[in-house]
A and B are shown apart, each in its own frame.
Chain A
């Protein structure tokens, strides 16, 4: 059953006119033709038109998360609008099996003058829920969105983060089999992003398929089963995620994220609380400065309210974009170490070996998952690490990650 396909896009094309005047002229002409029963030939470009989406084919399988990446103007939003049926394709066909829930913009369709509550009913109805369904899910929607008392005040008073939370919460509560998310998770705090991704993971378990449009490569590499890279409306890559990230970096390398901003999310769960995260050497002025042959030590203190079971630890070190790749990635499994967290307070000590790199800045990423990588407990991203000047360094390391778990 898991191989069931929910979206089949076959050689999809969409064209747009370059100038407004021409757009209106063509529009009028086409509408008149249609009204008189004449089909418009949409397969060829007319003067002043261009392909916004050109010969795009892909499939979305049940329970799959497909990432779509590309620069601004590469046709991502147009493609999503075609998938929802807002625009018809000009050539090719799209077959969609099941209802689609789309979150194309932040708080799409919210009425700013209405309260959050009224908007839940309105938006829920638009997304295809009945009144009684919304009644049933109302509390859960509000709880997930973390809106609290604001639920009765007008949405115009909400921060953009709150709008995204509410929009996302409504969308995931519709229980439609296909979800489309367009950059919606770029807004809002990291904690909520993490919660959203955990929710998407949960939905995936239930066989819900998602298309995720984002610029965030880390989100892509962590969550997507497959990746579609668009370049000027055409498919530059379709398939394996890691390979796709490489293609994306080759194409748009200079624009890849890495604003230098450190992202710290350590929500844990109700049963697992992260008490403290400490890096040695410490993060000072938003970076870690290493001296010669110095490893990075990460100490995580936590409180498990009950047996958590097995967790996964994931460490990634990334070089600046011109070197493209994550040059170091290790998990507790690469060193054949199981991490099982029993009830009680504990400390997880991680030692990332010293790399023999000279005079360069890398970024380190730390993630801890539970439930067989379905739920993120902690996710610190993008911490810059300055490597020391050392002419003796060879540029690689064959030393292994060290991980230790103890009670405190």
Chain B
């Protein structure tokens, strides 16, 4: 008979180091129907149930941009030389940042969004992770198309480098989803740490050149920006889209590589911890 499962204590730790990733990939592939069903349900449901529906996707970046432009025009903000007009700059920047935060929060919800399910039905939980990430990408894609439209209306024509955009945001997925996965495990065993990390993410925005440029005025801030790896990950896709160039390419590559390693380790943590975490979910 096919399909024999043997359940034993601590069997996951016996899985070979590389085999963990192979197994996870295989599980995801086998669960593609499920991923599609869940994606369709959650992505469409979110808009079906909201009053404004898809309109919300258009409205939210506009509200964001208006507030930043307002702050800039009053002089509260001193963004430094952004290279392009402030409005398109902040629009694109915040949308890239939103993608990063989206990766983080969607991965963090891998186990908790399916809480009731998980305790009752056995299914591939990696499917939840992929579904969450896909949902974020789908939301971002719509948001991004709107952003580009607004950029064109503002007279900013994206560089041909825009074609590299999907590759250049990959490290954001690795860092965001990596932190998120770690949090999806930590969430269940220590929920207060979760709130701390949420706050830390908000703080991270302030020390990353998102609403201001890398050429900020304050020397202390400049030092901080330089040390912050997020600076390079956020700037790369933005610079490519606006100017068709990659500043600090070697640093960007090193950080990207590190982010990939971090993501793979977080997957391993998830795989090892998953069953123990589920036991604590009551």
- B154 to chain A minimum Cβ distance, whole angstroms, is 39
Tell me if A105 counts as interface (CB < 8 A to partner B). yes
Tell me if B123 counts as interface (CB < 8 A to partner A). yes
Q: Could you tell me if B7 and A28 are in contact, using CB atoms closer than 8 angstroms?
A: no
Collect the chain A residues with CB atoms within 8 Å of residue B269's CB: 31, 35
Tell me if A65 counts as interface (CB < 8 A to partner B). no
Q: Which residue of B lies closest to A100 (CB)?
A: B122
Q: Interface on A for B, CB 8 Å cutoff?
A: 4, 16, 23-24, 27-28, 30-31, 34-35, 37, 39-40, 42-43, 81-82, 84-100, 102, 104-105, 108-109, 111, 113-114, 118, 121-122, 125-127, 130-131
A81-B119, A114-B45 known; A30 and B278 CB under 8 Å?
Answer: no
Main secondary structure of the interface of B (DSSP, over half): helix
Collect the chain B residues with CB atoms within 8 Å of residue A91's CB: 9
Q: Which of A24, A86, A87 lies in contact with B190, CB distance below 8 A?
A: A24
Collect the chain A residues with CB atoms within 8 Å of residue B4's CB: 95-98
Collect the chain B residues with CB atoms within 8 Å of residue A122's CB: 37-38, 41
A96-B7, A97-B3 known; A84 and B122 CB under 8 Å?
Answer: yes
A95 to B11, CA, bound (A): 13
A41 to B196, CA, bound (A): 32
16 A-B residue pairs with CB within 8 Å = A24-B189, A27-B189, A27-B279, A31-B272, A35-B272, A92-B8, A96-B6, A102-B122, A104-B121, A105-B120, A111-B45, A113-B45, A113-B49, A118-B41, A121-B37, A127-B121
Tell me if B223 counts as interface (CB < 8 A to partner A). no
Interface string of B25-46 (1 = CB under 8 A from A): 0000000011001100100010
- B149 to chain A minimum Cβ distance, whole angstroms, is 32
Collect the chain A residues with CB atoms within 8 Å of residue B38's CB: 122
Q: Could you tell me if B9 and A87 are in contact, using CB atoms closer than 8 angstroms?
A: no
Q: Which residue of B lies closest to A38 (CB)?
A: B13
- Name, among B2, B6, B120, the residue most crowded by chain A CB atoms within 10 Å (CB to CB): B120
Q: Could you tell me if B276 and A27 are in contact, using CB atoms closer than 8 angstroms?
A: yes
Give 14 A-B pairs besides A35-B272, A81-B119, A87-B278 with Cβ atoms closer than 8 angstroms.
A27-B280, A31-B185, A31-B269, A31-B272, A31-B273, A37-B13, A40-B10, A85-B5, A95-B6, A95-B7, A108-B120, A113-B45, A114-B41, A121-B37
Q: Could you tell me if A30 and B276 are in contact, using CB atoms closer than 8 angstroms?
A: yes
Collect the chain A residues with CB atoms within 8 Å of residue B12's CB: 34, 88
A85 to B274, CA, bound (A): 12
Q: Which residue of A lies closest to B34 (CB)?
A: A125
Q: Could you tell me if A34 and B119 are in contact, using CB atoms closer than 8 angstroms?
A: no
Tell me if B146 counts as interface (CB < 8 A to partner A). no
